[in-house]
Amino acid sequence: MTAVLESRARSLPRQAILETRGLAIESRIGGRRRTIVCDLDLSVAAGETVGVVGESGSGKSMTARALIGLLPQGLSARGSISYAGRELLQLPERELARVRGSEIGLILQDPFTMLNPLLRCGRHITEVLERGDARGVSRRARRAEAVRRLAEVGIAEAVDRYPFELSGGMRQRVAIAAALAGDPAVLIADEPSTALDATTQKEILALLKSLQEARGMGLVLITHDLRVAFAICDRICVLYAGSLLETGGTAALEVEPLHPYTLGLLLSEPPGDRRLAELAAIPGVVPSPDDVAEVCSFSPRCPWAQPICRAGRPPLEPVAPGRLSACRRIDEIRSEMRQRHATVVQPAPPRDTPAVAAPLVEVELVEKVFGDTSSRRVQESVVALAGVSLEIGPHESVGLVGESGSGKTTLARCLVGLETPTSGRISIDGIDATDYDALSTADRRRLRRTVQVVFQDPYSSLNPVRSVGSTLREAIELYNPRSARHARQVDALLEQVGLPASYAVRKPIALSGGERQRVAIARALAVKPRLIVCDEPVSALDVSVQAQILNLLSSLREELGVGYLFITHDLPVVRQVVDRVYVLYRGEIVESGPVDEVIGAPRHPYTIRLVDSMPRSSPDWLAASAPPGAP
Cα 403 to the center of its chain, rounded Å:
14
Looking at 16, 24, 25, 108, which residue binds other proteins (CB under 8 A)?
108
Alpha-carbon span 280 to 264, nearest angstrom? 7
Q: How far apart are CA 591 and CA 584, in angstroms?
A: 8
**Residues 37/242, Cβ–Cβ less than 8 Å:** yes
121-124 contact pairs (CB < 8 A, 24+)? 121/150, 121/158, 121/159, 121/160, 121/161, 121/162, 121/163, 121/166, 121/174, 122/146, 122/147, 122/150, 122/158, 122/159, 122/160, 124/174, 124/175, 124/177, 124/178, 124/181
Binding other proteins (rule: CB under 8 A), the pick from 59, 101, 498, 563 is: 101
77 near other proteins, judged by CB under 8 A: no
Q: Does 511 bind other proteins (CB under 8 A)?
A: no
* Cβ–Cβ < 8 Å for 171, 112: yes
The helix or strand, by DSSP H or E, that contains position 105, with its residue range, turns out to be strand 104-107
Which one of 62, 128, 360, 584 is in contact with other proteins (CB under 8 A)? 128
Asked whether position 370 contacts other proteins by CB under 8 A, the answer is no
Which residue, 115 or 229, is less far from other proteins as judged by CB? 115
User: CB of residue 112 vs other proteins: minimum separation in angstroms?
Assistant: 9
- What's 377's DSSP letter? G
Could you say which of 7, 11, 90, 113 contacts other proteins (CB under 8 A)?
113
Which residues are paired to 104 by β-bridges?
100, 186
Residue among 65 and 518 whose Cβ is closer to other proteins: 65
CB 145 within 8 A of CB 152: no
**98 or 488: whose CB is closer to other proteins?**
98
Count of residues engaged in binding other proteins, rule: CB under 8 A:
32
Least Å distance, CB 160 to other proteins, is 11
> What minimum distance in Å lies between the beta carbon of 118 and other proteins?
5
- Using CB under 8 A, which of 51, 54, 59, 105 touches other proteins? 105
Regarding 208 and contact with other proteins (CB under 8 A), the answer is no
> Measured from the CB atom, is 172 or 243 closer to other proteins?
172
- Ramachandran sector of residue 242 (left: φ over 0; alpha: ψ -120 to 50; beta: rest): left
356 binds other proteins (CB under 8 A): no
31 lies in the site for other proteins, by CB under 8 A: no
Kind and range of the H or E element at 44? strand 32-45
Residue type, 399: G
Nearer to other proteins, 59 or 529 (CB): 59
For position 118 contacting other proteins by CB under 8 A, the verdict is yes
What is the b/e burial string over 87-111, where b = at least 16 CB atoms within 10 angstroms of the residue's CB? ebbebeeeebeebbbbbbbbbbbbb
Asked if 363 touches other proteins (CB under 8 A), the answer is no
Among 34, 131, 215, 448, binds other proteins (CB under 8 A): 131
**Using CB under 8 A, which of 68, 276, 366, 610 touches other proteins?**
68
State which of residues 97, 151, 255, 358 lies at the interface with other proteins (CB under 8 A).
97
Nearest to 542 by CA among 188, 169, 53, 110: 53
Q: Which stretch binds other proteins (CB under 8 A): 47-55, 108-116, 237-245, 359-367?
A: 108-116
215 is a site residue for other proteins (CB under 8 A): no
Residue 127 in the binding site for other proteins (CB under 8 A):
yes
**According to the binding rule CB under 8 A, does residue 174 interact with other proteins?**
no
Amino acid in position 21: R
The least CB distance from residue 106 to other proteins, in Å, is 4
Residue 392: C-alpha distances to residues 100, 411, 525 (Å): 54, 13, 18
Can you say how many angstroms the Cα of residue 16 is from the centroid of all Cα atoms in its chain? 30
Our CB check for other proteins shows the closer of 65 and 259 to be: 65
**Where does 415-521 show beta strands of DSSP type E?**
423-428, 431-432, 451-454
The reply on whether position 106 binds other proteins by CB under 8 A is yes
Q: Which of 1, 148, 164, 487 binds other proteins (CB under 8 A)?
A: 164
Question: What does the binding site for other proteins look like in residue numbers (CB under 8 A)?
Answer: 65, 68, 70, 73, 97-102, 105-108, 110, 113-119, 127-128, 131, 162, 164, 175, 178-179, 181-182
